[in-house]
Amino acid sequence: MSKVKKAFFCSNCGYESPKWLGKCPSCNQWNTFVEEVLEKSNGKAPNEWKEYSTNPTKPRIVSLHDIATTEENRLITGDAELNRVLGGGIVPGSIVLVGGEPGIGKSTLFLQNALQLKNVTTLYVSGEESEQQIKMRADRLRIQNENFYLLTEAQTNIIFKEIKKLKPDLVIIDSIQTLQSEFIESSPGSVSQIRECAAELQRFAKETNTPVFLIGHITKDGSIAGPKILEHMVDTVLQFEGDRHYTYRILRTLKNRFGSTSELGIYEMTGDGMRPVLNPSEILLTQKEEQLSGSAIAATMEGLRPLLIEIQALVTQSVYGTPQRTVNGFDLRRLQLLLAVLEKRGGFHFGMKDVFLNIAGGIKVEDPSIDLAVICALLSSYEDVPLPAHICFAGEVGLNGEIRAVNRIEQRIAEAEKLGFEKIIVSRYNKKGLDHAKLKIEVLALGRVDEVYRYLF
């Protein structure tokens, strides 16, 4: 009998070591090494799908000049939001990893998309749920598809045998943490199992030109569970996020070899599944009867898509010795920077005030162009004076109190005009190149925060 082979793996990055180490030399994390049993036999994974591989054996080395440039025929799904996030549809032979919290709707979203692909043979592999559970979810979605096939199995060798029989055009794995390879002795979900199963699926996707979706779990700090190497092995990483108490869900691109990494898809959770929201600006703006202080509208960009979002601020007298700074959907350090600018350059005393900031709709924004709207919402709450309902903002604020130019200003102005706004305040340096004759919206170009304050208040 061959000796049982064991190794130690870093549970954070997947680094392999023959002995236990206190500190990982790859990611410098402490106490992350776990012992796992590796293969007992010397056999390598067989190529179960060799018979219908689309990449025949060819010379290893080719000249770049000899490679013909061909247009990639993407698989267009019935979901416009998913197509946008993937960069224009599903690329043949790509492997896509989707992460998200439990119960956020990952399985529902991809079951729904698979059922909508009527002319595509899809295999949905579930290692977590029974056939009856998936059938109940499919009945709730009310979509019929005769080309949709289901397999409840966790062993990769059995999965590849079934794939060889069916020859599907699309494979969805739910989830990668439940799969188990017969060549690794450790339990499902361990570092070595995740890495080996992902490597087998990657070889299958590339050799057969079949797209594969891997649904994955996430850890409590929000990153995708398993070693970081899993994200390096796949072509695209998508994050499905949102507060369970809100009806809206956001699909973000974290990595994409075939398109932009700053795209965003928005869905509404309904009883019949996930409904794509094609005009998110309308849902992110609160419909209110009366004007209240502390609310400002920002024109932001997510990828190539302009969005109008509502910034809500509340400034109150501090009861305790140390003032509170609470944010939702915005960077806390960025808020402290903007408060320091108002204190130093504008003479506003926020040092003894509690400041609360919220971006309506549960969306998280990292675009610095919303700085001007944040400052105007803070000043509106500070003075307790509502801002005009027909005005919106697009500008980054510097440490000297100047309003800096932002990119893609034409798209932002067009989105504000489309939603009926009459005025937009932008940086003085964004004014060049704008054709004011074609615009129905009034563009106010200002240079400093104090000029904006004097204009509004």
C-alpha–C-alpha distance, residues 143 and 148, integer Å? 11
Comparing CA positions, the residue from 93, 116, 95 lying closest to residue 213 is 95
The one-letter code for the residue type at 2 is: S
Measure the CA–CA gap between 421 and 442, rounded to whole angstroms: 9
**φ and ψ of 412, to 5 deg:** -65, -45
Known binding residue 346? Answer is no
User: In which element (H, E) is residue 273 found?
Assistant: strand 273-276
Cα gap 40→410, rounded to integer Å: 62
101 is in an annotated binding site: yes
Both structure tokens of 141 = 């979605």
Paired tokens of 220: 């409590």
Q: What's the Cα-to-Cα distance from 396 to each of 178, 278, 406, rounded to whole Å?
A: 45, 27, 7
All residues at 6 or more sequence positions from 410 whose CB lies less than 8 Å from its CB, including other chains: 434
174 vs 8: CA distance, rounded Å = 27
100 is in an annotated binding site: yes
Q: Are 368 and 396 in contact (CB under 8 A)?
A: yes
Q: 172, 121, 177: which is closest to 151 by C-alpha?
A: 172
Q: Check whether 218 is labelled as a binding-site residue.
A: no
> Measured between alpha carbons, how far is residue 339 from residues 43, 236, 382, 415 in Å?
63, 38, 12, 29
Residue 436 tokens read as 């004011």
Gap between the Cα atoms of 8 and 17, Å rounded: 5
CB-CB contact of 375 with 383 (8 Å)? no
| Gyration radius of the chain's alpha carbons | 26
438 is in an annotated binding site: no
H or E stretch including 99? strand 95-100
Determine contact, residues 124/131, Cβ cutoff 8 Å. no
Q: Is 207 annotated as a binding residue?
A: no
Q: Is 115 helix (H, G, I), strand (E, B) or coil?
A: helix
What does the longest C-alpha to C-alpha distance in the chain come to? 84
- Where do runs of H (alpha helix) occur along 86-190? 106-116, 131-141, 156-166
102 exposure class (CB count in 10 Å sphere: 0-12, 13-18, 19+): exposed
Binding site residue list: 100-107
Binding site residue list for ATP: 100-107
